[in-house]
Structure 1
Amino acid sequence: MHYKEITSTQNQLVKQILVLKEKSKERRKTGRFVIEGQRELQLALQANYTIQTLLFYPELVSESDLDTLIPSQIEHIIISKEVFQKLAYRHTTEGIIAIAETKPHHLDGLTFQNKTPLVLIAEAPEKPGNIGAILRTADAANVDAVIIANPKSDLYNPNIIRSSVGCVFTNQIAVGNTSEIITFLKHHQIAIFCAALQASVNYYTQDFTAASAIVVGTEATGLSDEWLAHARQNIIIPMQGEIDSMNVSVAAGILIFEAKRQRGFL
């Protein structure tokens, strides 16, 4: 099959891809984002993301490999080594870079397959690496939804996609402000458990077998007062060292897997 080829780093499409990677404003305006890597691309396709264009470096991925990975109707473009090195964040990208369409992540788009959903909520997470790690934890635990409250970064930040190893595509995710999310949880009769130091009890003393939302905040500021005011119970992870907090993704993992243990999945 004959493919279009790009050999210049000054090509207009190359410039567009670089802007999409670097600017959240451009991702929001165009409704497009960039995916790197075979695994990430496969997960996006399984989640029914629309792939507009696929660029590949033939020294790292063959046309026959592409045929098994990517639907033939997607535009394929061969890129040179120089273009690939310009576009790829990491050299383990396996020669694949794709442009995809974003999805909306509204609260009213969430659907629950059971009557006792388990939801993980992160308020105002700032570091893409932490968001990615939270999404990996959520995927590992197969939670019913992840909700980001008052997000500081859009979900299609390349660092989130990379650090989540594609779990941004495998989780059911919504974003909203704290008030909207609390209203949503109360409407669905989902109990709120806030990870906080104030008026808290050890996390393992609580019953997470009913519909539950576990809410975590940042290490620096914790959760806002609005969350604490609507919590059924504040919960804490007892620690034996000198500090009183841990990385938010680690804390989320401990709490979520306790809920899964109670539900008989461990």
Structure 2
Amino acid sequence: MINYKKSYFYFVMETKLISSVQNPLVKKILQLKEKSRERKRSGIFVLEGRREIQLAQKGGYQIKTLLFCEEIISIDQIEKEFELANVELIAITKAVYEKLAHRGTTEGVIALVDSKSHTLDDISFSTSTPLVLVAEAPEKPGNIGALLRTADAAAVDAVLIANPKSDLYNPNIIRSSVGCVFTKQIAMGTTEQIIDFLKTNQIKIYCAALTASKNYVECDFTCATAMVMGTEATGLTEDWLQNSDQNIIIPMQGEIDSMNVSVSAAILIFEAKRQRGF
């Protein structure tokens, strides 16, 4: 079944309807959600939710296909809230939507989106004193999402992920970041590549580490600064420690000697912002 509806953008859109969960596109979307290999092969990822899709479009991502459940969101709302030029628009039944949606609060919209390369060559700075958040080998999607939320809240200039264990478009990362995966410059590379990038750009390396460390409040973060976080289990690799300009520590008053990596990153990043007068 095909419906034809007049768009507020003064072109006629052909709106298809998918009513079967056995539709080939439905099966493709499920594969994209579940398999990192398929996302990498196709260069496409799945995105749910009105806010997340709007943030992706604001961040320069190209929406290829937008699927919407008319029982939840109307075509008029779709046309008002999203940029639809060069976007394939497909209506889906509630049964299909419930099959595809990861959560029930995504307001009836699911998008297929072109991924970006996220190389270090894509990173540029508009200031001589950038503030950069670096995470080495983060494993838990929830932690990665929380790091990205901190980066957005503090308006850091870039997030660099060394030796990534998961692709950035893992649905759990997107969901836990509440769309902040689209709001900051993000690049991935090896530890060696990122260290070279920071040194080339004359960015001081501050490693969160227990050994040879200085209390973080005693450090000057007003210069070009990279806050480098390791995993909660093993910390940073020796390459980072050997290239650190200064190891830093958050003093603990309890029985344990570490906090969740996203909490630690937030403390350090916002101390840097405080020193910079924000």
Q: Which runs of 5+ in 1 are unaligned?
A: none
Corresponding residue for 1:32?
44
Once the two structures are superposed, the pairs formed by residues 1-266 of structure 1 within 5 Å of their partners are 1=5, 3-73=15-85, 74-265=87-278
Structure-2 change in CA distance of 1:72 and 1:108 (3 Å): closer
In 1, distance between residues paired with 2:171 and 2:81?
A: 21
CA positional deviation for 1:69: 1.6
Which secondary structure state, in structure 1, belongs to the residue aligned with residue 29 of structure 2? helix
Q: 2:57–2:83: 8 Å Cα contact kept in structure 1?
A: no
Q: What is the rounded CA distance, in whole Å, between the counterparts of 2:102 and 2:88 in structure 1?
A: 22
* 1:3 counterpart SS class: strand
Q: CA RMSD in A?
A: 0.7
For the residues of structure 2 that align with 1:3 and 1:212, how far apart are their CA atoms?
Answer: 49
Distance in 2, matches of 1:209 and 1:263, equals 6
Stretches of structure 2 lacking an aligned partner (at least 5 in a row): 6-13
Cα distance, 1:108 vs structure 2: 1.2
Find the aligned partners of 2:82 and 2:213 in 1 and give their Cα distance: 50
Query: What is the CA deviation profile of residues 165-198 of structure 1, one whole-angstrom value per residue up to 9, with x for unaligned ones?
Result: 0000001000000000001111110000000001
SS at 2:217's partner residue? helix
- Percent of paired sites with the same residue: 65
- In structure 1, give the amino acid aligned to 2:70: P
C-alpha separation in 2, matches of 1:115 and 1:108: 17
Query: Distance between the aligned counterparts of 1:256 and 1:31, measured in 2?
Result: 32
Q: Deviations over 1:94-128 (max 9, x none)?
A: 00000000001010110000000000000000000
How many Å apart are 1:71 and its aligned residue? 2.6
Shift in Å at residue 244 of structure 1? 0.5
Per the TM alignment, residue 59 of structure 1 is displaced from its structure 2 partner at its CA by: 1.3
Task: Identify which range, 68-77 or 144-153, moves more after superposition.
Answer: 68-77
List per-residue Cα deviations over 1:126-161 (Å, max 9, x = no partner). Answer: 000100000000000000000000000000000011
d(CA) in 2 for partners of 1:72 and 1:164? 24
Q: Distance in 1 between matches of 2:113 and 2:17?
A: 19
Name the CA distance, whole Å, in 1 between partners of 2:183 and 2:65: 21
Greater CA drift, 12-21 or 62-71: 62-71
SS at 2:39 equivalent: helix
Distance 2:269 2:178 in 1: 19
Instruction: Give the distance between the partners of 1:52 and 1:99, measured in 2 at CA.
Output: 6
**Structure 1 residue matching 2:110: 3-state secondary structure:** strand
Provide the secondary structure at the position in 1 that maps to 2:97. Answer: helix
3-state SS of paired residue (1:222): coil
Q: How many residues align?
A: 265
Q: How far 1:75 sits from its partner (Å)?
A: 1.1
Q: CA deviation at 1:72?
A: 3.2
Q: TM-score under structure 2 normalisation?
A: 0.94
Q: Which amino acid aligns with 2:114?
A: E
